Amino acid sequence: MNKLKEIEELCKIGIADVQLCFNIKEDLWDKYIEQELCKNESLMDLINFRQSVNFDWKVDTKLGGPATTLNACVLYCLIRYYDLFMICETGVAGGYSTVFLLEAVSRNGGIMRSLELSNDMNEVAKLVPEKWKDSPTWHLKTGVDSVEFLRNENDDYNRIFHLYCHDSLHTFKHMFSELTEFKKCKNDRFFVFFDDQNSENFWDRCLQMKLFEKKGYNVKYISGKESRLNGHMGGIIKYDKVL
Ligand SMILES: C[S@@+](CC[C@H](N)C(=O)[O-])C[C@H]1O[C@@H](n2cnc3c(N)ncnc32)[C@H](O)[C@@H]1O
């Protein structure tokens, strides 16, 4: 059983559009999905479970619906291609996207911090294999509001992540507050990813009000809307310091 086959065309289109937007010449699907992800048995088992008819998020991941496999694959490629090794994730729930992020960042020798509001340890990260739970790669903070946590000026880590990955509360107010904190990043290059970027028309409102911009940085972005997937894929914003 390889459930990824069923959505292969969709994933290939999303990944190809990301390549086009960021001018990536390499075939990310072949290099990172075929050659790496498809050979990772535990990731394939997880995909097969997520895509199966038996999976019901209201039962299996009660804190919130999991990311799509499309978004998980796109993020995996992005992390591996750009060698991103410091990742911040908001909104863990059962941890579907968490597992892909951890697999990719660990291959890069990096670390991930995950911020989750719930303290229910029967539910938080229940899809995440035990090997990650006491691994130095993963720093899970539960019972925290992502925005409050990121606002802490004394935590230098908050400003040096290479990828900020939003999948917490999908209201305009909360997403905008996270974006404001993410944009305080001091790296020459960093990425921001928004799952459910069309909630409360977040993506279009940001474009209209030029909220993605950051002084001194070139900004490139793609969401499903700028791609052939028309909103189906999450939104990615790439920041490059003007040197
Ligand atoms: C859509 S689910 C995350 C799905 C997860 N990324 C996955 O792929 O399985 C949203 C999660 O965000 C958490 N959440 C909601 N508000 C939050 C906040 N203010 N700060 C941090 N996490 C929050 C919820 O408790 C829930 O677990």
> Integer distance in angstroms from the first to the last C-alpha of the chain?
49
Which of 213, 207, 211, 204 has the alpha carbon at shortest distance from 240? 213
Question: Which residues have CB under 6 Å of ligand 1?
Answer: 61, 63-67, 90-97, 115-118, 145-146, 167-169
The confidence score (pLDDT) of residue 53 equals 94
How far does residue 220's CA lie from ligand 1's centre (Å)?
A: 26
How far does residue 88's CA lie from ligand 1's centre (Å)?
A: 13
Contact assessment for residue 113 and residue 198, using Cβ atoms and an 8 Å cutoff? no
Fold of 3-241: Rossmann fold (3.40.50)
Tell me the domain boundaries of the chain: 3-241
Alpha carbon nearest to ligand 1 atom 26, residue: 93
The confidence score (pLDDT) of residue 224 equals 84
pLDDT interval class at 173 (50, 70, 90)? very high
Alpha carbon nearest to ligand 1 atom 2, residue: 64
Alpha carbon nearest to ligand 1 atom 18, residue: 145
- Does the pTM surpass 0.85? The reply is yes
Which tokens in the block code for residue 148?
Answer: 């409050």
From CA 151, how far away is CA 42, in angstroms rounded? 35
What are 214-226's pLDDT values in tens digits? Answer: 999 999 999 988 8
Beta bridge partners of 87: 112, 163
CA angle 243, 159, 145 (to 5 degrees): 145
How far does residue 62's CA lie from ligand 1's centre (Å)?
A: 11
How far does residue 124's CA lie from ligand 1's centre (Å)?
A: 9
- The number of residues making up the chain comes to 243
